[in-house]
Amino acid sequence: MRLNIANYDIDKERLPRHIAIIMDGNGRWAKRRNLPRIEGHRQGVRRTRQLVETCGKLGVDYLTIFAFSIENWVRPEKEVKFLMNLFKEVIKDQVPDLVKNNVRIRFIGRFDRIPDDVMKSMRWAEEMTRDRSGLTLLVAISYGGRSEIIDAVKKIIKKGIPPHRIDEKTFCEFLYAPDVPSPDLLIRTSGECRVSNFLTYQTVYTELWITKTLWPDFTPALLLKAISDYEKRERRFGGV
């Protein structure tokens, strides 16, 4: 089935099953307006809401968003505190809508530094949306692709799995979201051409789509453009 939305031709059969997004550029958005960085984060959240809604409506199965990297802990304490608090508020605020829109939320990352109250709201949101069968929204918080791989190795050793039993399939069972397929499409906003330690193991054959647009300016139309571009690409996976 082909859909024409906002002048973009979307083929439902070729839709990416899993979209991952590096939501970058909040600080620059604020700076350009002479606002404090936190205002960029606030506007960014509005865009994230819109994005989740659009992905749900389109019928995307998985959406993984990079909310806070394991490297982001080095930011000024004030910004980190603001972000942690913002996550808590947004989670609390959004759960009823997620339930209504049939979205299941899950969190991935290394959570040892996440404040207790934020952790509690994350667990609560997961519990409240556990049986939702539409879009699965994975939020990467305190996430690093390398940490995820190291954590997987530790779990494998702890379980005493012998080397001859370790292959890619077994290894994937120890990642943060073992049941989730690799992303088909990775979008990065704000023009940086790097992956910044996001989904390191999972993105080896992911199609990359980069836009100069800053995250707080990212519209549903731009998502449709990314999807439409993706659908025109030929994925070869090493073949001919």
Residue nearest to ligand IPE (CB): 27
The residues annotated with a catalytic role in the active site are 24, 72
Over its C-alpha atoms, the chain yields an Rg (Å, rounded) of 18
> What part of residues 11-50 is at the interface with Mg ion (CB under 5 A)?
24
CB-nearer residue toward ligand IPE: 25 or 56:
25
Q: Per-residue x/- mask for Mg ion, residues 131 to 170, rule CB under 5 A?
A: ----------------------------------------
197 is in an annotated binding site: no
Interacting residues with ligand IPE (CB under 6 A): 22-28, 66-69, 71-72, 83, 190, 192, 194, 196
37 is in an annotated binding site: yes
- Minimum distance from CB of 166 to ligand IPE (Å)? 30
182 is in an annotated binding site: no
Q: Which residues bind Mg ion (CB under 5 A)?
A: 24
